[in-house]
Amino acid sequence: MSKCEQCIVREFSSLKALTKDELLQLSDCKTSYTIKKGEVIFEEGENVNGIYCVKDGICKLTKLSPNGKDHIVKLVTKGELLGQRSMISDEPVNLSAVALEDMEVCFIPKSEVMSFFDKNNQFSMNVMKTICGDLKEADDNMVNLAQKTVKERLAETLLYLHDTFGKNEDNSLKVQLSRDELASMIGTATESCIRLLSDFNKLGLIELTGKKIVLKEINKLKKMADYDPK
């Protein structure tokens, strides 16, 4: 069992407020998991009695709509926590978490987190700030979905993926989403998403090579998206 004290990822999460003692305590009660690409970490409606700390990899948080389609609400990557909202609300999780790449995550039981809440105000504050950040992001997404066209949303999402998760040596986006996933992130039909990607490609804004996407004209994409990076 690896020690939380030495975990690089800890520095980037709310857990950075924990003291050495608390980290030792944490090491003792956490459980580490390896999750393969495509595997489910938890599913909408489940009772997850704790939180996951993402050590490596990326996952999508999805919500099933009444019409049967999944919508990707958020992507979560290393250094972030999963399941905080429902743990705090004392409810089943309202989203499913599915690995987009192989992942390493640690599970921390609720009792433990709650005891940190009690003892360590800075930690509470960090968690609160994270959730507040999520809320702001959700508000922004809402307005985008309500007011922007699919084309604008696609451009914006490509830029978001670029800015947030970076690119490979060949300049292609690091997070590799299927067309279907991309569509369910921007809230459109898969075919529409494919078509618009094709258009962007023909316009020279992006370059498509199989699943790989390279952003060629970032400024034009920004203009297209009315994108303002926070």
Question: Which of 9, 51, 161, 197 touches DNA (CB under 7 A)?
Answer: 197
According to DSSP, the residues that pair with 213 across neighbouring strands are 208
For residue 76 the two structure tokens come to: 């979560």
Residue 145 near which of a second copy, DNA, none (CB within 5-8 Å, type-dependent): a second copy
If one asks whether residue 36 binds DNA (CB under 7 A), the answer comes out as no
**Closest among 213, 217, 138, 224 to 177, alpha carbons compared:** 213
The CA-based dihedral angle spanning residues 209, 214, 219, 221, taken in that order and rounded to the nearest 10 degrees = 60
| Contact call for residue 189 and DNA (CB under 7 A) | yes
Q: How far is the CB of 69 from a second copy (least distance, A)?
A: 6
165 binds, among DNA, a second copy, none (CB under 5 to 8 A by kind): none
Q: Angle, to 10 degrees, between the axis of helix 121-147 and the axis of helix 110-119?
A: 110
In sequence order, the β-bridge partners of residue 34 are 104
Stretch that binds a second copy, among 29-37, 51-59, 104-112, 121-129 (CB under 8 A): 121-129
Residue 227 interacts with which of a second copy, DNA, none, CB < 5 to 8 Å by class: a second copy
Q: What tokens were used for 23?
A: 């980290």
List, as one string, the DSSP characters of 34-89: EE-TT-EEE-TT----EEEEEEESEEEEEEE-TTS-EEEEEEEETT-EESHHHHHH
Binding pattern to a second copy, positions 74-113, x when CB under 8 A? ----------xxx-xxxx--xx------------------
The site for DNA (CB under 7 A) is made up of: 149-151, 178-180, 187-192, 194-195, 197-198, 208, 210-211
Q: Could you list the residues that contact a second copy (CB under 8 A)?
A: 63, 65-69, 71, 73, 84-86, 88-91, 94-95, 117-118, 121, 124-125, 127-129, 131-136, 138-148, 187, 226-229
